[in-house]
Structure 1
Amino acid sequence: MRGSSIMAEGEESVELKFRVYDGTDIAHHTYASSTTVATLKERLVAEWPHDKTHIPKSVNDVKLIYAGRVLENNKTLAESRIPFGDLPGGVITMHVVVQPPLARKKTDKNQDEKPKQNLCSCTIL
């Protein structure tokens, strides 16, 4: 994580692991509360197993989900309301979704290209 795993004295930390689409957990480490979501994504892209079907090429291809919320790149773990301190079980699992920008653009474009279908059918008796 290029030096970001070094924590300032007294800074809170949390143990995280990241679950990918097939149920595999990756990048299991302890992270400081000041670690940004973008830094987590950089680590995930660097450590991504190459035997997976979907491989992110950049941090923009990765979405991190915790407690039903997509985490924002510019926020720290503390700002993202990740619990710190003693946790039951000790490890927080975040879900990772890989969605390349190209796939999103194609999906949006396909939505625009489809003609609007009139699904309403009225009969006058």
Structure 2
Amino acid sequence: MAEEDDCVELKFRIFDGTDIGHGTYSSSTTTDILKQRLLAEWPQDKSVIPKSVNDMKLIHAGKVLDKGKTLAESRIHVGDFPQGVITMHVVVQPPLAKKKTDKNQEKQKQNSCSCTIL
């Protein structure tokens, strides 16, 4: 019975409202394990598909869950929702390297000017 109290039922909602990864998880499950399962179950017919677990963020109660922390460490209280399902949101974020490259190119375009002194 102690094992049952240590588990929480979760589902994960992606950008278009589809729920994936519905199941019962131990409070010792890490966010990395959750992301790996979600990546494996991600619907391939969606317009946005994460390439790796680093492209995903898990959000619960308005807070992004820290990488590598367990559900217990993330303050997801198992007893708060007896016989209820907790819904977490999954956000796919593109790698930061692309964003920095785009910004650098924009700055170069903005900074380029030509002046002629007569």
TM-score, scaled to structure 1: 0.76
CA RMSD of aligned residues (A): 2.2
Unaligned runs of 5+ in 2: 111-118
Aligned equivalents of 1:17, 1:107: Cα separation in 2: 30
User: Which residue number in structure 2 is paired with residue 106 of structure 1?
Assistant: 98
Among 90, 105, 124, the residue aligned to 2:84 = 90
Bigger proportion of residues as helix: 2
Residues 10, 27 of structure 1: alpha-carbon distance in 2 compared, 3 angstrom cutoff: closer
Which 4+ stretches in 1 moved above 2 angstroms? 8-11, 108-117
Write out aligned runs for 1:28-67 (5 A).
Answer: 28-67=22-61
**1:111 Cα offset (Å):** 2.5
TM-score, scaled to structure 2: 0.80
Figure out how many residues of one structure are paired with residues of the other and give that number: 108
User: Which residue number in structure 1 is paired with residue 115 of structure 2?
Assistant: none
**1:67 Cα offset (Å):** 1.4
Residue 88 of structure 2 aligns with an amino acid whose one-letter code is M
Unaligned runs of 5+ in 1: 1-7, 118-125
Partner SS state of residue 65, structure 1: strand
1:11-37 CA-to-partner distances (Å, cap 9, x unmatched) read: 611110000000000010010000000
Identity within the alignment, %: 64
